[in-house]
Chain A
Amino acid sequence: MSTLTTNYLAPTGREEAWRFTPLARVGGLLDASTAIESVASLRITNAQPQIKLTVKSAEDLPAISKSDDLATIRAREVISEVTHIEVAANAQLTEPLIMERSGLSGKPQASRTLISCGVNSHSTIILNNTGDAILADEIEFDLAPGSNLTFISLQEWSAKAVHLGRQHAVISKDATFNSIVITVGGSLVRLLPTVEYSGPGSSADLQGLYFATDGQHLEHRLHVNHNVPNAKSRVNYKGALAGDKAHTVWIGDVYIRANAEGTDTYELNRNLLLSDGARADSVPNLEIETGEIVGAGHASTTGRFDDEQLFYLSSRGISAEIARRLVIRGFFAEIVGKIKNEEIENRLMDRIDSELDKVEA
């Protein structure tokens, strides 16, 4: 690793992409002089014959997409080994593949992964992120024609973890990418769920939820690049905030290029403020270069759990504590229910309850 041969320039915080992020808390990940260790960080817990994991050298497995994200650029510079997960062509997985990422060093590390889904394969992959981390992370998805992948990432990091991540999908003809991003842990998490298309008839469904409590910074920057005709995208992110200096950022950039006729896109971000002193930034952005589309829309709402709602529920005998839980559980249930794994769903709801306990205590 050399800092002399790089053109890398660390962000100053004035850039549009970094203006919300507390750069003092990124643990040196963006600093050209920090030693960052390359780590192959993903582990499969339930091996399946139709899925292969190999660790390859970065030269043998270059990135399949371009990125102007500085954390990604920095990570790519230091990465020496890449984890390659391959779902066999025509594989029809009945059980989700479960991957764990835990036991990281807590010192600056970088990880890169490529998940390749073979032609007409159908699979679900769940990634559990737990424990300490100062991690710059890139996961690319290469979806072959007709493939269908549901990728669920759970950010259940420790309270001091830092995670700068990119999850980028390249979706080819008639392929479907379903992403569910759940971020509840970590001190600073900044994720870029991004999508581009390489053939028509392709589809992306990006769902997410985040719950920030005291001092947590949880940032999700979505980018959907409609660069082919007749592709579809849906974005639905929901966030709740409670406690002092809880901060969430949601950016939803959707671009419909001039050649992207027949595009069908809708993005939605909803935030629920549960206490004073928390801040939710929400910036939807839709750029349209052709009018020949099926539909394009976006919406962003930030609301409070207010006294009138509390009064209404209380006037039906429901205690204030249960009322608050009812509202939050209800708010999140839409996204959590899409995970379709009872154990994880229960664990998440329990975690949300225990976060609320801490806020109320």
Chain B
Amino acid sequence: MSTLDIKGLQVSVATEAGFTEILRGVDLTIKSGETHAIMGPNGSGKSTLAYSIAGHPKYTITGGTVTLDGADVLAMSVDQRARAGLFLAMQYPVEVPGVSVTNFLRTAATAIRGEAPKVRTWVGEVKEAMKALNMDTNFAERNVNEGFSGGEKKRHEILQLELLKPKFAILDETDSGLDVDALRIVSEGVNRVKGNSDLGIMLITHYTRILRYIKPDFVHVFAAGKIVEEGGPELADKLEEKGYAEYTTA
């Protein structure tokens, strides 16, 4: 059982006009096996929360703590955070020309597991995970995210989730840009990982659509840089009906 604990997290970004505060004290605790949906309007800071936890250099932490089983996540480098068990499925995965998916996955797995995976079992493992995500085998020979469609990028993120087996996954708008079929395949992938492990999930989304496939245990409404309401799955139904208006006009 692991715990990802976010307390009073405050984050700013540098702009031409100086520092702008985006997160204004976020409190959130996620335990292994739990799925937390973070829902909120555009510009509320949901993605900033995701990237700050992963350690993107653009964001400056000005207050609060993030700990993983008591270890100070904010003191870790980006790669250390990943090795500690955090995984961020990005909304806009980055193209890395010249690096094949095969090479990338193997290098990442080696880094996360602390030793190179055995060639024989690894190849089978990758093939099986790709098949489950409906990915063509020639996908492995392509360069990371280069020329991928929106759906392919998201599948590739979930493929990594399956292979790297983190303790906690932050899924940043994984549903954006996906058609119904792709959404189902990607969601099934997330559920499969969860079914096979004790994965804790922070599911960031604007729409309730993905929650039909990935059932949250908790729903948090995010507005103006902090969590403004919390509840169970029924809160998502309310948002579906009434939208975010009551949180943004305050």
Q: For the complex, what is the distance from the CA of A330 to the CA of B100, rounded to whole Å?
A: 7
Whole-angstrom CA separation of A98 from B57 in the bound complex: 49
B90 at the interface (CB under 8 A from A): yes
Give the residue of B55, B82, B95, B143 whose beta carbon is less than 8 angstroms from that of A316. B82
Contact between A309 and B79 (Cβ–Cβ < 8 Å)? no
A13 close to B (CB within 8 Å)? no
Centre residue among B81, B87, B94 by max chain A CB count within 10 A: B94
Stretch binding the partner chain, chosen from A120-128, A173-181, A248-256, A319-327: A319-327
- Min CB distance, B41 to chain A, in Å? 25
Among B101-109, B191-199, B210-218, B225-233, which stretch is in contact with chain A?
B101-109
Q: A317-B83, A319-B79 are in contact. Are A309 and B96 (CB under 8 A)?
A: yes
B93 CB within 8 Å of chain A: yes
Q: How far is the CA of A341 from the CA of B93 in the complex (A)?
A: 36
Provide the main secondary structure of the chain A interface.
helix
Complex interface: chain B residues within 8 A of A326 (CB): 99, 103-104, 107
Q: Could you give, for residues 107-129 of chain A, a 1 whenever the CB lies within 8 Å of some chain B CB and a 0 otherwise?
A: 00000000000000000000000
Let me know if B88 is at the binding interface, CB within 8 A.
yes
Residues of A within 8 Å of B100, CB to CB, are 330
- Per the 8 Å Cβ criterion, residues 41-63 of B in contact with A are 54-57
- What's the nearest-Cβ distance from chain B to residue A318, in Å? 5
Instruction: Determine if B96 and A314 form an interchain contact, defined as CB atoms under 8 angstroms apart.
Output: no
Closest chain B residue to A270 by CB distance?
A: B97
Give the chain A neighbours of B95 by CB distance below 8 A. Answer: 309
B98-A315 in contact (CB<8A): no
A60, CB-defined interface residue at 8 Å: no
Mark each residue of chain B from 69 to 92: 1 if its CB lies under 8 Å from any CB of chain A, else 0: 000000001110111000110100
- Closest Cβ of chain B: how far from A323's Cβ, in Å? 8
8 Å CB contact of A318 from B56, B88, B93, B107: B107
Q: Once bound together, how far apart are the Cα atoms of A332 and B99, in whole Å?
A: 10
- Pairwise interchain contact B99-A318, C-beta atoms closer than 8 A: no
Contact B98 A311 (CB under 8 A): no
Closest CB-CB distance, B166 to chain A, in whole Å?
A: 9
A314 x B108 contact (CB < 8 A): no
Verify B111–A318 contact, CB threshold 8 A.
yes
Given A326-B104, A330-B99, answer yes or no on A316-B111 (Cβ-Cβ < 8 Å). Answer: yes
B residues near A95, Cβ cutoff 8 Å: none
How many Å lie between the Cα of A316 and that of B98 in the bound state?
17
Nearest chain A CB to B167's CB is how many angstroms away?
A: 13
CB neighbours (8 Å) of B82 from chain A are 314-318
Q: Are B90 and A312 in contact (CB under 8 A)?
A: yes
Residue contact B94 to A322, C-beta cutoff 8 Å: no
- In the complex, chain A residues 291-346 whose Cβ is within 8 Å of any chain B Cβ: 303, 307-309, 311-320, 322, 326-328, 330-334
Q: Give bound CA distance, A272 to B79, whole Å.
A: 23
CB–CB B88/A315 < 8 A: yes
A-B pairs under 8 A by CB, number: 80
Please indicate the chain A residues that have their CB under 8 angstroms from the CB of B78 in the complex.
311, 314-315
Contact string against A for B residues 108-119, beta-carbon threshold 8 Å, 1 for contact and 0 otherwise: 100110000000
A316 in contact with B160 (CB, 8 Å): yes
Of chain A, the residue at the smallest CB distance from B96 is A309
Residues of B within 8 A of A328 (CB): 98
**Could you tell me the distance between the alpha carbons of A13 and B185 in the complex, rounded to whole angstroms?**
61
- Bound: A159/B78 CA distance, A: 36
Enumerate chain A residues within 8 angstroms of B108, measured Cβ to Cβ: 313, 316-318
B111 in contact with A327 (CB, 8 Å): no
Considering the complex, which residues of chain B in the window 103-150 have a beta carbon less than 8 Å from any beta carbon of chain A? 103-104, 107-108, 111-112, 143-144
* Cα of A316 to Cα of B169 in the assembled complex, Å: 12
A83 to chain B, nearest CB (A): 37
B9 within 8 A of A: no
Please, which residue of chain A has its CB at the minimum distance from the CB of B114? Answer: A317
Choose among A317, A330, A331, A333 the residue that contacts B79 (Cβ–Cβ < 8 A): A317
Whole-angstrom distance between the Cβ of A332 and the nearest chain B Cβ: 8
Most chain B CB within 10 A, of A272, A303, A319, is at: A319
- Given the complex, which residues of B lie within 8 Å of A332, measured CB to CB? 98
Q: Give the docked Cα–Cα distance between A272 and B81 (Å).
A: 28
Task: Write the nearest CB–CB distance from A321 to chain B, whole angstroms.
Answer: 10
Residues in B neighbouring A311, C-beta threshold 8 A = 55-57, 78, 94
Q: Which of A307, A315, A333: most chain B Cβ within 10 A?
A: A315
Cα separation A320 to B107 with both chains bound (whole Å): 12
Give the residue name and chain of the A residue nearest to B164 (CB). Answer: A316
With A and B bound together, what is the CA distance between A320 and B79 in angstroms?
Answer: 8
Which residue in B57, B93, B143 is a CB contact (below 8 Å) of A312? B93
| Chain A residues closer than 8 Å to B111, beta-carbon distance | 316-319, 322
Q: State in angstroms the CA–CA spacing of A313 and B112 once bound together.
A: 12
Report Cα–Cα, A313/B160, bound state, in Å: 12
In the complex, how many angstroms separate the beta carbon of A322 from the nearest chain B beta carbon?
7
B55 CB to closest chain A CB (Å) equals 7
Q: Which residue of B lies closest to A301 (CB)?
A: B97
Give chain A nearest CB distance to B61 CB in angstroms. 16
Distance between Cα atoms of A331 and B94 in the complex (Å): 16
Residue of B55, B87, B90, B98 near A330 (CB, 8 A) is B98
Q: List 13 A-B contacts (CB under 8 A).
A: A272-B98, A311-B56, A313-B96, A313-B104, A314-B77, A314-B82, A315-B87, A316-B82, A317-B108, A322-B107, A330-B96, A333-B98, A334-B98
